Amino acid sequence: MSTTTAAETRRQADESRVAWIQRRLARHVPELVRLAIPAMGSRLGILMMAFADTVIVGRYSTDDLAYLTIANNALVTPLLVIGIGLFIGVIIFAANAFGRGDEAEVGRIFRRNLPFAVAIGLIMLALCFAGEPLLRLLGQTPVMAAESAPLIAVLGLGLPAHLLFFVSAGVLEGVKKPAVAAIAIVAANVLNALMDYALVWGAWGFPEMGAMGSAWTTTIIRWLMAGVLVAYVLYAPAMKRFGARGAARQRFDEWTAQRRMGYASAISLGAEVFAFGMLSIVAGWISTVAVAAMGITFNLMSIPFMLATGIGSATSVRVGIAHGRGVRPDMALAGWTGLGLCWVVTLPLGVFIATHPELFFALYSNDAALLPIAVSLIVYIWIVLPFDGGQNVVAMALRGVGDTWVPTLIQSIAYLGLMIPLSYALSIPFGHGPVGLMQATLIASVFSIAAQGGRFWWLTRTPASAGSRAGAL
């Protein structure tokens, strides 16, 4: 009798737990989608400008595409992403202040971060003027270094502007006004495509500048976007109540918490983007055509990857809510649901891209010499993307439970410790050529998602003593 009773109790508990999971999934999935859509939209908006740059320059010249790829990936993009990481706390702290009704603090957040953004941007700009010796140090050919260095300098002029834009957009997102930045990004995309075409190809009476025309377009657009958003925060009637104008009047040590959050994010993001930048350097050791092919492949892969980052952002919110309530099963379900949604979205896109490589290559170039190399890389996208995008989602889930430094360490090991040396070893000594770059990316991403997934499972596991109660949550 006791055995039957125990079995019946376990069966009821299992049924109760299944019902709970179904209820929570019905809640998590629509909430994830609702939160992810605007996040994906803003990231895709910024990315589409880079997509237009790559397509227009790629169809102009394979060499120019290689120079622009090296300029962006070797220095400019790593610096930009590190800068964005440093200011990631603006969104969170502005949202917290707005949520508790402290409108004056929102204004202080904007005022103190504006000069900080300018200072960081100017430091990054100074580094960009050392582009040629840096590229020579990294083993690039004299021609590659000489042609890419002026592009780095011009693109560097736009770095302070992008940080100003990010700070302003972060404050607006924190006070629930993301549409302002979204409208600015849409307008910037249209203007960017027109200016790119005019300055790269010399259309409508403008000088034909090749890759340099794209670099100047990017910098001009970044300053226009920064000007619009800074002016909106300072002068729009809807923002007057926050008191954004005036001096910061805050000591540096009074906002340490925001900067500490930024340091961790900058290291994590910087490690990954620096590692991917090094792939361009390794490609440069192979050939100019290899650089162009890699630039096309990673630009193409970055579009669905941005969808994964939007899902990751939404996942961190859902996990964070469950973490705030202290419900471990719900934390785990929110995180794994985010990963599942990432795979549902990115895997079909990756398969479609990889099964139509010539179609997508034709968007970027008509160079017959570039075609077979680019296609050999593009076909890897379907298998790399779910792991690369998925590890980003799991990293954000870990941050949702307050775990900041361990995912940073794992990603650093994966992309700095594994991907960089493997990309060289597989591409050159083992003779896999440019394909070795994708193989190294796959290995690093598999390690990252496995290690971070294990960490997330460990932090959200239900203790055995609580197992009998989990179904009732």
In order along its 473 residues, the chain shows pLDDT tens digits of: 455 565 555 655 555 666 656 666 666 677 777 766 766 666 677 778 888 998 999 999 999 999 999 999 888 988 988 888 888 778 767 777 777 788 888 888 898 889 999 999 999 999 999 999 999 998 888 999 999 999 999 999 999 999 999 899 888 877 777 778 888 888 999 999 999 999 999 999 999 999 999 999 999 999 999 999 999 999 999 888 888 787 666 676 677 777 777 787 788 778 878 888 888 889 989 998 999 998 899 888 888 888 888 788 778 777 877 777 777 888 888 899 999 999 999 999 999 999 999 999 998 988 998 999 999 999 999 999 999 999 989 988 887 787 878 888 898 899 999 999 999 999 999 999 999 999 999 999 999 999 999 999 999 886 543 433 333 33
The pLDDT, as a whole number, for residue 470 is: 38
Q: How far apart are CA 297 and CA 301, in angstroms?
A: 6
Q: Among 214, 161, 173, 176, which residue's Cα sits nearest to residue 192?
A: 214
Owner of token pair 């239900």: 462
Token couple for 280:
């361009």
Token couple for 170:
């972060």
Token couple for 218:
């990017």
Q: Among 99, 77, 101, 458, which residue's Cα sits nearest to residue 279?
A: 77
The pLDDT, as a whole number, for residue 468 is: 36
Q: How far apart are CA 360 and CA 376, in angstroms?
A: 13
Q: Are 267 and 80 in contact (CB under 8 A)?
A: no
The pLDDT, as a whole number, for residue 155 is: 96
Three-state DSSP at 287 gives: coil
Q: Strands, E, within 220-291: which ranges?
A: none
Helices and strands per DSSP (H, E), number in the chain = 20, 0
Residues 6+ apart with CB under 8 A from 126: none
Residues 6+ apart with CB under 8 A from 136: 142, 145
Query: What CA dihedral angle connects 198, 200, 203 and 208, to 10 degrees?
Result: 130
| Cβ count near 352 (within 10 Å) | 14
Angle (nearest 5°) at CA 45 between 44 and 46: 90
Token couple for 173:
């997102």
Phi, psi dihedrals of residue 164, rounded to the nearest 5°: -65, -40
Cα torsion 41, 218, 289, 276: sign: negative
Cα torsion 232, 233, 234, 239: sign: positive
Token couple for 60:
């102009």
Residues 6+ apart with CB under 8 A from 411: 268, 271, 272, 391, 395, 448, 452
Q: Among 210, 214, 74, which residue's Cα sits nearest to residue 145?
A: 74
